[in-house]
Amino acid sequence: MSLVNFNKMLARARRENYAVGAFNVYHLQDITTVLAAAEAVRSPVILATTRDAFAHSTMEDLVAVIKRRARATEIPVCLHLDHARDFDTIIRAIFAGYTSVMFDGSSLPLAENIHKTREIVKVAEPLNVSVEAEIGRVGRVQTQYSEEKTDDGAVFSDPGEVKKFVEETGIDACAIAIGSLHGMQKQEASLNLNLLEEIRKRVEIPLVLHGSSGVKETELKEIGARGIQKVNIGTRLQRVFTDEMRRILAENKNLHDSVKVLESARKALKKEVIHKIEILGSSNKVRN
């Protein structure tokens, strides 16, 4: 199957009250494992890359690999550019073959965010590329290895501003800030579900949750039915992958076979991705 944008997969998720995972991938190990996990449980999947991924490979190389892998699978696969803040990077991604892009103007004044987002939509829509943007601001936990400091720069989304933003930009999905934070290592965040309900009353398009790695799983199980249809997952996957590498190397002091180390890390990662897919409710949503 060729790469698709996320419009149809999120529209179905909206109708059937579940969410689709957008898994951050950085290298071949991530790409291979996330796709294998989604295939195993027959789930649509979004592969998301940030600028950090381009430190390991070029944008064009990642597109080539993911396009080839998508053609070899029967599940819907969307390739998404996550948290891009400049016009040139987004245009480059669109013409490189991304089927979905996110413009992150959340730190901008509302009027400027609307204007710049609308310009992205004008380019992407005729090319069948879906567009996500953010209103409010999801903060970030500042982590230096074991030390974790909460960023208080988060700004909850205002329901009225969300409505205005969606109507004036024409975006396909809207990322909102309701209590999660990027980069959390522990699942301790509590979502403001009442705020989510107020936002959902005002807009019809799919809503997006960023920073889900720190959200309690009991709440992640609920959000599909409450109107979140795309859930970004990144930090948790990196933690699982690297923790398993540490474990196998610590238990096998003479192990110097990188393939075996990576194989063990991939198995742990696949198990975690399947777990997240099942929590979000998107397993068995692809017909055989």
pLDDT digits (tens, 9 = 90+) for 144-162: 434 444 554 567 889 999 9
Mean pLDDT of 195-223: 90
Distance CA 247, CA 264 (A): 10
For the chain, what percent of residues have pLDDT higher than 90? 77
DSSP 129-141: -EEEEEESB--B-
User: Percent of the chain beyond pLDDT 70?
Assistant: 90
Average pLDDT, the chain: 90
Q: Say which range, 90-94, 130-134, 159-163, 179-183, has the weakest mean pLDDT.
A: 179-183
pLDDT score of 147: 45
Domain 7-280 CATH superfamily = Aldolase class I (3.20.20.70)
What pLDDT does residue 145 have?
Answer: 39
pLDDT confidence bin for 7, thresholds 50/70/90: very high
Digit-coded pLDDT (tens) for 225-236: 999 999 999 988
Q: What's the confidence (pLDDT) of residue 78?
A: 98
Pairwise pLDDT comparison (145 vs 285), residue with the higher score: 285
Give me the pLDDT at residue 287, please. 81
Per-residue tokens: 28: 């071949």
Q: Are 212 and 173 in contact (CB under 8 A)?
A: no
Which whole number is the average pLDDT over 249-258?
96
Q: State the residue for tokens 């400027």.
A: 112
Taking 80 as the threshold, does the pLDDT of residue 245 lie above it? Answer: yes
Is 158 an active-site residue?
no
Q: Do the bridges between strand 130-135 and strand 100-103 make them parallel or antiparallel, or are there none, so unpaired? A: parallel
The predicted model scores a pTM of 0.91
Query: Which listed residue (30, 61, 82, 104) is catalytic?
Result: 82
Residue pLDDT, tens place only, 115-148 = 999 999 999 999 999 999 999 766 554 544 344 4
Instruction: Please give the average per-residue pLDDT across 242-265, as a whole number.
Output: 96
Residue boundaries of the structural domains of the chain? 7-280
